[in-house]
């Protein structure tokens, strides 16, 4: 069977989603997991965008060895040189050059002629050949580009050394039949197209990113650019898990394969959701909380008798245990370790001891601890270990007759214990006020506060997502606890820690 190359752009286009900023360590952790997932290409970032992005791409290029590590650049000599420098230590480096090709972009944004655009594209592809053999070119907004010109610019950049041609539906404008015909037209009308791999990069503005990508594959495209959970600019990108599982589930139709270890999909989805702060909607295909839940009695009856009556995908094939084992405070270390393994987590002794201690503490508060609770504990442990400031203690008083007051004690990076108190309009406001007094970062504005229950029941863990803004940049923090005020404090401290870390990196 032919193989479809899976090109993951979670760390580049995915991070461009409003509020999805990641620090270098978070990008590295996601990149390592993408390597475990088996993606062929990781688009690690846009080195010319900022020193932080350059450093993140360089770090990933140095540490992640199996996939191709790709750096995005616009058609500018300095930017191409920066991309080449960022990926020079990669085992398999790629430079990805993009340049608009549609008339609306040329006239209103770039104010250049088609001839000028073609020359820019060829010059920059030629420049990139000085650094690497693997060069991708994207005529941006290809789905709104006049086909004859699209064929011409593709043919010219192939002559200059492009080895992958990416056809982007940049604004999510196309529909499947139309986009499939565009790909077929390129194969028919570009004489030297056989020297390259045809790729597609589809956005989801009309909800058709995955459908367009799959239709392109049916018409000969052999690379799909996608993101975990479909995150990305505006309405997002084609979802990696949906593209991969569609090819796998409907192998009778596609007769294609990918190199993805699908049992790593669920774990990767959770990690990206945790790091970016973007909650996966319950009805999201493949990885949503309801994807394998059945409410209808008829459906339940069928699944009990034979799962395939209403489940076209075995949940275990994406790394989701088919059963939901409930643990309690009497469960031992062995049972806990076994459940971690079933969920796809292998921890070293130190990390396991922290996780088990947190599990016992939670089991004292909750009668039953579910898989979701365990995943929340592991995520919370990562946030605490990576923290600059650590929440030590918190006490809140509030009520309809009282003045909401919070007292907080934090442990600073140097180990100094700092405490203070403040009043607010409510308990969460009071908590944020006192944390601001301790950490002392001016100009921070809280822009989003979201609470959700990790599991069901009155004793469920509450997970809080907080976004703060400083100097036009958004930082996301998350915290979880059975006490929602404590979870709020953890989330706010986590957001401020990300802000502090980002400013240290920028210096």
Nearby residues of 202 by Cβ (< 8 Å), 6 or more positions away: 168, 169, 172, 174, 179, 208, 209, 210, 212, 213, 216, 225, 237, 238
| Strand duo 93-100 + 68-74: pairing | parallel
Whole-number pLDDT of residue 337? 85
Backbone phi, psi, residue 5, to 5°: -75, 125
The fold for domain 389-506 equals: Double Stranded RNA Binding Domain (3.30.160)
The full set of domain ranges for the chain reads: 2-276, 292-318, 323-383, 389-506
- First and final CA of the chain: distance in angstroms? 50
This prediction has a pTM of 0.82
Cα angle for residues 268, 73, 186 (degrees, 5° grid): 85
Q: Which CATH superfamily is domain 2-276 in?
A: Aldolase class I (3.20.20.70)
Whole-number Å distance between alpha carbons of 329 and 123: 66
**What's 36's DSSP letter?**
H
- Max Cα distance, the chain (Å): 79
Whole-number pLDDT of residue 348? 87
443: left (phi over 0), alpha (psi -120 to 50) or beta: left
Whole-number Å distance between alpha carbons of 368 and 460: 10
Whole-number Å distance between alpha carbons of 267 and 285: 15
Cα–Cα distance list, 486 to 374, 437, 478, 491 (Å) = 18, 17, 11, 9
- Dihedral sign of CA atoms 318, 322, 328, 333 in order: negative
Average pLDDT per run of 10 along the chain, which is 507 residues long?
94 88 89 98 96 95 98 97 98 98 93 95 98 98 97 98 98 98 98 97 98 98 98 96 98 96 95 90 90 69 73 88 64 80 83 88 79 81 73 92 93 92 95 95 92 79 90 86 93 91 72
Whole-number pLDDT of residue 377? 83
**What's 312's DSSP letter?**
S
Nearby residues of 112 by Cβ (< 8 Å), 6 or more positions away: 106, 120
Whole-number Å distance between alpha carbons of 85 and 390: 36
CA 12 to chain centroid: 9
Whole-number pLDDT of residue 408? 96
Give the three-state DSSP class for 254.
Answer: helix
Assigned token pair, 203: 């956005």
Cα angle for residues 7, 314, 456 (degrees, 5° grid): 100
Whole-number pLDDT of residue 323? 54
Evaluate whether 466 touches 477 at the Cβ level (below 8 Å): yes
Q: Say which residue the tokens 């139709």 belong to.
A: 253
């Amino acid at each position: 069977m032919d193989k479809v190359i899976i090109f993951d752009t979670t760390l580049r286009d995915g991070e461009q989603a409003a509020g999805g900023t990641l620090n270098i360590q978070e990008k590295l952790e996601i990149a390592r997991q993408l390597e475990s997932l088996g993606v062929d290409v990781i688009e690690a970032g846009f080195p010319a965008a900022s020193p932080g992005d350059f450093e993140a791409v360089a770090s990933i290029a140095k540490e992640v060895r199996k996939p191709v590590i790709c750096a995005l650049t616009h058609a500018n000599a300095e930017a191409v040189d920066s991309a080449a420098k960022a990926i020079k230590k990669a085992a398999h480096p790629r430079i990805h050059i993009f340049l608009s090709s549609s008339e609306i972009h040329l006239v209103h944004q770039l104010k250049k002629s088609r001839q000028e655009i073609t020359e820019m594209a060829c010059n920059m592809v030629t420049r990139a050949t000085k650094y690497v053999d693997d060069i991708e070119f994207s005529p941006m907004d290809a789905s709104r580009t006049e086909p004859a010109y699209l064929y011409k610019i593709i043919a010219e950049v192939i002559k200059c050394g492009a080895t992958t041609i990416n056809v982007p539906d940049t604004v999510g404008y196309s529909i499947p039949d139309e986009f499939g015909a565009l790909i077929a037209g390129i194969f028919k009308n570009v004489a030297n197209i056989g020297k390259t791999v045809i790729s597609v990069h589809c956005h989801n503005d009309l909800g058709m990113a995955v459908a367009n990508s799959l239709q392109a594959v049916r018409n000969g495209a052999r690379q799909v650019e996608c993101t975990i959970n479909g995150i990305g600019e505006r309405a997002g990108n084609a979802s990696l898990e949906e593209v991969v599982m569609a090819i796998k589930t409907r192998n009778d139709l596609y007769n294609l394969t990918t190199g993805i270890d699908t049992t790593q999909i669920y774990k990767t989805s959770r990690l990206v959701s945790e790091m970016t702060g973007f909650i996966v909607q319950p009805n999201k295909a493949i990885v949503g909380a309801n994807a394998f839940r059945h409410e209808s009695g008829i459906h339940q009856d069928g699944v009990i008798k034979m799962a395939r009556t209403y489940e076209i995908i075995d949940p275990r094939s994406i790394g989701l245990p088919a059963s939901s084992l409930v643990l309690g405070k009497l469960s031992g270390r062995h049972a806990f370790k076994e459940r971690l393994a079933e969920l796809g987590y292998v921890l070293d002794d130190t990390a396991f001891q922290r996780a088990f201690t947190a599990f016992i503490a939670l089991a004292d508060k909750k009668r039953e601890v579910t898989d979701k609770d365990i995943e929340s504990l592991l995520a919370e442990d990562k946030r605490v270990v990576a923290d600059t400031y650590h929440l030590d203690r918190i006490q809140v008083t509030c009520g309809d007759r009282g003045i909401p007051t919070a007292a907080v004690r934090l442990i600073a990076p140097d180990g100094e214990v700092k405490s203070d108190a403040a009043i607010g309009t409510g308990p969460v406001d009071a908590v944020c006020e006192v944390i601001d007094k301790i950490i002392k970062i001016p100009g921070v504005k809280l822009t989003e506060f979201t609470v959700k229950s990790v599991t069901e029941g009155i004793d469920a863990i509450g997970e809080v997502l907080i976004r703060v803004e400083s100097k036009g940049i958004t930082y996301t923090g998350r915290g979880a606890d059975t006490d929602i005020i404590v979870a709020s404090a953890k989330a706010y401290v986590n957001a401020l820690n990300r802000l502090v870390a980002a400013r240290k990196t920028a210096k």
